[in-house]
Each structure stands twice: as C-alpha cells, then as structure tokens.
Amino acid sequence: MMTEDYIYLDYAASTPVDPRVFDRMRECSAATCANPSSTHAAGRMSQDIIANAATQVADLLNIDPKTLIWTSGATESDNLAIAGGARYRAHRGKHIVTMRTEHKAVTDMFDTLAKEGFEVTWVDPGPTGLLDPAAFEAALRDDTQFASIMFVNNETGVIQDIEALGNICRQRDILFHVDAAQAVGKVRIDLGKLPVDLLSLTGHKFYGPKGIGALYIADRPGCHVEPILFGGGQQRRMRPGTLPTELVAGLGMTAEIAAGRIDDDLAHLRTLRHALWDGIRHIDGVTLNGDPNGFPGILNVSVDDIEGESLLLALEPLLVATGSACNSKSQEPSYVLRALGLTDLQAQSAIRFSVGRPTTMPEVEFAAGHYRAAIEKLRELAPEVVT
C-alpha cells in the first residue's frame, strides 16, 4: 500500500479494512440501531446479523457457531482464555505452561496468574523459534492443567506445530490455548481436526475492523472458562456486555472474504517475501531471524554494526517495525529475539518487514533497495574504531 508520503510494510501490526467489510458494516448500521439483547423486532434483527456473522467465522474455522464468544480483540480473547481457563481448572492443579516468545497479552497474563499462586513454566524455543514438541512435553507435570502456545509469531512469523503440541495436551487432558491473531484468515485452520481447546482471533490482523475479535471454546467435557468481566447475561455469562452489531458483522464479512482467498494470498506473500529477502540477503552482516519456512507475510532481519532506531529513521518513507506494535515504544531489545539467542545489539538492529494483500512488487523492490542504501549510509557515518 503506497501513498505519496510512505510505503506501508507493517501489516503484522494492522491491516487496512477491506471495502466490502465497510459496506457490510454500513448496511447493518442502516438496517438497525437496536441493542441485540432486546427482544423486540429491531433487537431480533441485530441478533440475526450477529448469528450470520458467527456462521461466517465458523465456516472459516470449521466449527460450530455456538462455540464462539465475541470479544473486543485478541488481547481480551487471550486474557479470557488464559485467566478463565486456568482458574476453572485450578482445583485440579495450578501448574501452567507457555513459551518465552508469546505475545505480551499472553506473557503478562501468565505473570498475573503467577501472583495469584499459579506456577508457570516458561519453555524456550530453538534457535529458529520453533518449539520442540519433546521439550514441551518434558515441561508438563501431573498437576499441569493449562498451556498456551502461539500459532504464528507476530515478530518472526514462526509457525508452531500446533497439531503435535495439541495432541500432547489432549492425551493428558490439559487445556490447550492458541493465540492465532496472526494466523486466522492468513493460513488454513481446521479446528474440526486440530486438537485445540481455546483459540483467540482478532479482525484487524486480516483486513477487518479494529475493536472486534472472538474466542473459540471447544465443545468438550472439561473445556470451559470463568468470566473475567461481569454485568450481564450475554454470551452465556462468559463475556457480558452489549455486542457491537456492526463490528461483529464486519468480522463476519472479513472471515467470508478470507475463506475464499487464503491460498491466493499466501502465494502472493511468498513471492513478495522471496523478492525482498533476495534483495537484501547479500548485505554484509545481515541475518534472517526465525524459521525461513514461517509465515511468508513477515520477514525479520538483523544487521551487524547498526542500531535499530537509527535504521528505522533512515528507512523512511518505509513504514516498518523494530518489534511488535504493542511493545514499539519500549527501548528494550525484543524479548522474542533474545529468546532465540540474539545478543542485545543484534536484537536492537532488527527490522520487521510485513507485507500484505495490497503490497506490490515495485514496493518490495523499492524497500530492498532503500534498505541497502540506508545500511550503506549509516555505516559511512559511523566513526572508525581505533585499535
């Protein structure tokens, strides 16, 4: 996506809303302003709009629409799944497991539970960011009742083996949560086959509106979450509050559009990522961070002898990131990259390029050339080290 002022390459942070999604939201807004909790005719119309959206999201994931809980986004979905799931199982055991490379919405919730008396085991990934299922299984105990592993990493694009990890949990009757904010609508996910109990998603990561997400809760014995919000009977009392009909309708349309073009989108992203990496990989000291076979919409690279914030400024008009959007104001090096074994200097030099559906080949070619030029310029400006 290019304007006269910039080239947007930060799709992992957020995506533009598809015009068809806007149209659907406007259509619903014009049809009814009623509270979907109301029992009159206009309220029932809002209920029908929400039910239709649930079917659209359910079709994308191959689930029963009744297994969805609407939320304000992935952060709330993660919080509800983790706090609600762990507390529901607390009488059976208070040992919970996650990875050090998870999103802050997950790691901060685990820290909160630790203050409540839960015992957390933080599993380390391998140097490419992939979690060895054997290492994951070794971290589990008889009193383990909850585990959370991200589907696609938001900084590196690493894709975890969710099926293998889920099977391990299912064999031990451990609730298994997956943060799929970067995966839903971008890669094929069949929850009719994957052994996942709880899955978080959000609209704005795959061309839908901000402020709306969902939590999938598998319909199986022992799979439940305690509420973290109170104040009404909506959504089986697991997540009370008036539902934003237009936003829910927008997420439904987003899911319907994605279902029909995931394969084409992936092919497009693979072509762009290959061209971008091919255009910068010969730079002296450049390193690709994460599994090279990860999600093709994300390319995370570090380079020797360059400081990340300086590089970010030098890369304008490219809009890229030095880490995840939720942690972008922190001056600390990425904890995700540190967990992969990078030094502080290597992590601080990292740039995340993330391409999307509207990204073009000319934009990627310009980005590669501009990155090369920025590195060369910064190295020319750097003072010589006298030995």
> What mean pLDDT value characterizes the chain?
94
- Evaluate if residue 169 carries a pLDDT over 90: yes
What is the per-residue pLDDT across 205-242, written as a single tens digit (0 to 9) for each? 999 999 999 999 999 999 999 999 999 889 999 999 99
Q: What is the pLDDT of residue 135?
A: 97
Task: Please give the average per-residue pLDDT across 252-269, as a whole number.
Answer: 98
Q: Catalytic residue positions? A: 326
Residue 4's pLDDT band, with cuts at 50, 70 and 90, is: low
What homologous superfamily does CATH list for 7-16+262-381?
A: Aspartate Aminotransferase, domain 1 (3.90.1150.10)
Q: What is the pLDDT of residue 58?
A: 98
Q: Which residues pair with 217 in a beta bridge?
A: 198
pTM, to two decimals: 0.95
Q: What is the pLDDT of residue 382?
A: 77
- With a CB cutoff of 8 Å and minimum separation 6, the contacts of 385 are none
- Evaluate if residue 325 carries a pLDDT over 50: no
Strands 286-288, 95-99: pairing is unpaired
Q: What is the pLDDT of residue 386?
A: 43
Residue 332's pLDDT band, with cuts at 50, 70 and 90, is: confident
Residue 117: how many other CB atoms lie within 10 Å: 8
Q: CATH: 3.40.640.10, 3.40.190.150, 3.40.50.11260, 3.40.50.1240. Which one for 19-259?
A: 3.40.640.10
Q: What is the pLDDT of residue 212?
A: 98
- Evaluate if residue 335 carries a pLDDT over 70: yes
Residue 329's pLDDT band, with cuts at 50, 70 and 90, is: low
Domain ranges of the chain: 7-16+262-381, 19-259
Q: What is the pLDDT of residue 302?
A: 96
Q: Give the type of residue at 130.
A: L
> Do 40 and 265 form a contact (C-beta atoms < 8 A)?
no
